[in-house]
Each structure stands twice: as C-alpha cells, then as structure tokens.
Amino acid sequence: MKFVDEYRDSEVIKQLLGAIKHQLDDIPPRCRPWQIMEVCGGHTRAIYRFGLDKLLPKEIEFIHGPGCPVCVLPIQVIDQAFALALKPDVILCSYGDVMRVPGSSGSLIQAREQGADVRIVYSPRDALAVALNNPERQVVFLAIGFETTIPATAATLLAADKRQVSNFHLLVHHVCIEPPLLALLEEKDTAIDAFIAPGHVSTITGALPYLSVAATYHKPVVISGFEPADILQSTLMLLRQLQRGKAEVENQYTRAVQVFGNRAAQTTIDRVFELAETTEWRGLGKLRHSGYQLVKAYQRFDATRLISTPDQEETVDHTPCHCADVLCGKLTPDECPLFGRACKPTHPAGALMVSEEGACAAHWQYRQQEVEL
C-alpha cells in the first residue's frame, strides 16, 4: 500500500538500525537501559508485530504507555453501556474493540448473548445510519477514544442535529492525551527517559499536548508515524536529543502532522464538547480536565438520560490483575501473575489483554515470534 510499504523496506530498516547503534556508541554507557515510552497502542502493536523490540540493541527498552482507549476505559462505562444495551428499545452501537472488555455484569458480547441488540460499527456515521433506519428504537453509540476519534463523533452529532434526529444518543467517554502523560511524570518512581508521541492524535492536536512534557519535565518527545521506519527514526531522533541533553518536541511524522494540528477539527470538537471537571481512567484514577462532556446545547444527545435511575454509587473495579502497573510502565506484561494463566486473549481478566493494541495482548500474540537478522 502506498505510504506504507516504503516504510517497511528492509534496506531502510537496516540503515536505521545501523544509525541507532552508531548513536548509542556516542552516548556514555549507563547501568540501565534507555526507557522510551511509546504512548499509543498503535505503536505498541507495531513494535511487537514487526519485532522492533528484538531488533533494537538491549540499551533501548520500550515502555508501553496509556494511549489505548480500550485499555484505559473504566469499568463504570462498560457497566453503563451494558445497562443501556439491555433496555428493550435500545440498539447499542460500539467499535468492535470494546465488545469483549469485561464489566461488573459482563461484557457487551455477553449482553448480546442475553438478548440485547448490540451492533459493531466501523464509524459513528454507521451508528447514525442505524438510528435513521430504526426510527422506533433508541440508538446509543458508545463514543470512546482520544483526540483522533473525537472529531468523527462531533461531526456525526452535528449531522444528527442538522437532520433533527431524535433517537440518536451518545455514551461519551472521550479523553485527552496530555493529562495521563503528566500524571505518569508526576509519579515518584517514573524512570521514563523519552516519549514517542502518537502520530494520529497529533494530526488533530498538533504538538501542543507535549510542550509541557518537554519544557516542564525535561523529557524529549518525538511525534511518530506508525510504520517500522517511522518508529526507528523517531527512536534515533530521541537518542540524539538525549545525547545532547536536549528536551524538545520534534515531529518525525511530517507527511501527516502539522505543528498546529487540524484546526477545523479542533473547532468541531469545541462546538460539541467541553472538558469535564474530572474523568476516570483505568489504572490512573480520576484526572482533572482529562476528558470531554457534551456542551449544554447538545446534552439532549446524552445517552445517560435514558437510564431512569442513574447509579449514584461508585462502582469499584475488582479486576484481579495488575493492568494499572503495566499501564504505568512499572511491570512488563509477563511480570503480571495472571499473564498467560488466568488472563489470555480468549478469556481476558483485564482490558490490556482485550484490545489488539493492549500491551498484554500484543505481548502474548508475538511472544514467540523470531526476528531474523
């Protein structure tokens, strides 16, 4: 595929690996590896899929960050979606990634087994089409995701509003990339040296969310594309910054990311959403100004209004795993006692084993893959 294959070319990869080894020779040795956090689950999956962790010298270690929206989804949202799905007049539409995430009463797949009308959609536009085709039913779209996905939800809501669709509702759990990064950097035992920032989030946001990571916490950041050559080039750029003692935000993904992002998409987000006071994150707890809620003018689209007695009690996440520690880079996936035993992709105990982009699922899928050099 154009703009994909050329960034997987083995000659290009060899060139980059050589340059990275060269660069490491110029950095004084130290007793622990350079820890680079790839924030986005898409990067995590690419690193495992292409065996980049095995190709790179042992002086470089990737720490898998909190940028997988399925993985940071709190159990309360699954429980709300489950409750909505079981209402007889509701059709619940969701991205496929969320279907198997375990909630207190079960996953959305299990809701479907109990007779709920749960449908997998590719796009929020598809959910709107379901609403238009089923005027007698209430259609709820489970709107999750980072800044990459938020403009699609916002544009769809504006389209629904324009067409005066009254049976289309959003269960919103849209989140921002900056607050979890700052929360991780505030933790005492954080050992992350540098960040590979999510390229597709950045097509919308530009470089803004990472400025304080570099300026306040003195960590180098490179916005990266998702192909092997992109990730290796970004690694090289980070090593150069580390060698020179710099902490800047650089853009490797120049073919798609503008420094100021997509301003029309930012405006579309702001027409529909505003920052909520606090938002719950799996593994990170409540973070201030880290997620979105509908602005007053569009609150009639809020799906929680369909639940007649909203559950005021705080749901406690009893998931018996160490997702939080893996999310924060404190444990590697196989250091979790449940990994590969009580928690596998076929019966996930935690969210990180559900999504293909979760660190545990990617680690499990590619754990025995050999990379030939």
Query: Smallest gap, in angstroms, from Cβ of residue 112 to another protein?
Result: 20
Question: Cβ contacts of residue 14 below 8 Å, gap of 6+?
Answer: none
SS3 35: strand
Our CB check for another protein shows the closer of 39 and 116 to be 39
Query: Smallest gap, in angstroms, from Cβ of residue 313 to another protein?
Result: 29
Query: Smallest gap, in angstroms, from Cβ of residue 131 to another protein?
Result: 16
| 249 contacts 210 by C-beta, under 8 angstroms | yes
SS3 141: strand
Our CB check for another protein shows the closer of 110 and 123 to be 123
Query: Smallest gap, in angstroms, from Cβ of residue 82 to another protein?
Result: 20
User: Which pair of structure tokens corresponds to residue 156?
Assistant: 């769809």
| 190 contacts 217 by C-beta, under 8 angstroms | no
Our CB check for another protein shows the closer of 96 and 310 to be 96
Our CB check for another protein shows the closer of 114 and 258 to be 258
Our CB check for another protein shows the closer of 27 and 306 to be 27
Can you name the residues that pair with 62 across neighbouring β-strands?
36
Query: Smallest gap, in angstroms, from Cβ of residue 337 to another protein?
Result: 27
- The Cα 290–Cα 309 span in angstroms is 26
Angle between helices 150-162 and 263-272 (to 10 degrees): 60
Query: Smallest gap, in angstroms, from Cβ of residue 208 to another protein?
Result: 15
Question: Cβ contacts of residue 278 below 8 Å, gap of 6+?
Answer: 286, 287, 288, 289, 290
Q: How many CB atoms lie within 10 A of CB 267?
A: 11
Dihedral angle over CA of 251, 256, 258, 262, nearest 10: -140
Our CB check for another protein shows the closer of 54 and 344 to be 54
